[in-house]
Amino acid sequence: LSEAPILFKQELQNEEVREGKQVKLTCELSKPDTPVKWMKGDTVLYASEKYEFKQCGTVAELIIRDVKSIDS
Predicted pLDDT at 4: 81
Domains of the chain and any CATH numbers: 23-71 (2.60.40.10)
In Å, how far are 7, 15, 36, 41, 56 from 4, measured between CA atoms? 9, 30, 17, 27, 20
Q: What is the pTM of this model?
A: 0.87
**Taking the CA of residue 31 as centre, how many other CA atoms within 13 Å lie in the half-sphere pointing to its CB?**
8
In the structure, what pLDDT confidence band is assigned to residue 64 with cuts at 50, 70 and 90? very high
Segment 3-45, tens digit of pLDDT: 788 898 999 899 999 999 999 999 999 999 889 999 999 999 9
Predicted pLDDT at 5: 87
Predicted pLDDT at 1: 66
Predicted pLDDT at 36: 92
